[in-house]
Amino acid sequence: MEADLREPHRLLAHPEVVRHIDFDRPCALLQSGTMHHLADDENPGEIMRAYRDALPSGSYVAVCHFWDPAEESPEDSAFAKEMQQRLTGSTMGTGRFRTRAEIAAFLDGLETVDPGLVMLHEWWPEGPRIAPLTQMDKVFLSGVARKP
């Protein structure tokens, strides 16, 4: 099916979605690599709220988003700003690196699952490190939360 992420009510009511997802039972929403392609003037917080509100209690939401770690790492923040500039000038055309607080707001009202909103590799800290972290690895945050 084709749908526009920016139209959550229309997308969630689409016959294919309704046919495959029972919104009376807990389910999972994965917003991985999606919300950072929405500009601030497209109201990504409102869009994410509509998706969260549609989920029944016991559902989970996972996010993976471009991150500007300004408050934690000026060097990585400079890289994030450079990447954002590159993306907006490329054929991809979008890519908003948000702060930790801006990304955390996508999970408002939900119970964050440990280890919380962290860099991707921190979701499996004891796992085998196959390769050293790249600069790009340091400008993504990921989190999972449960709707009470």
**51 touches 13 (CB < 8 A):** no
Q: What is the pLDDT along the chain (148 residues), one digit of tens a residue?
A: 899 999 999 999 999 999 999 999 999 999 999 999 999 999 999 999 999 999 999 999 999 999 999 989 999 999 999 999 998 877 777 899 999 999 999 999 999 999 999 998 898 877 777 888 899 999 999 999 999 9
Beta-bridged to residue 29, according to DSSP, are 61
| The CATH number of domain 8-146 is 3.40.50.150 | yes
The whole model's pTM is what? Answer: 0.92
* Sheet (strand 60-66) strand order: 28-32, 60-66, 140-146, 111-112
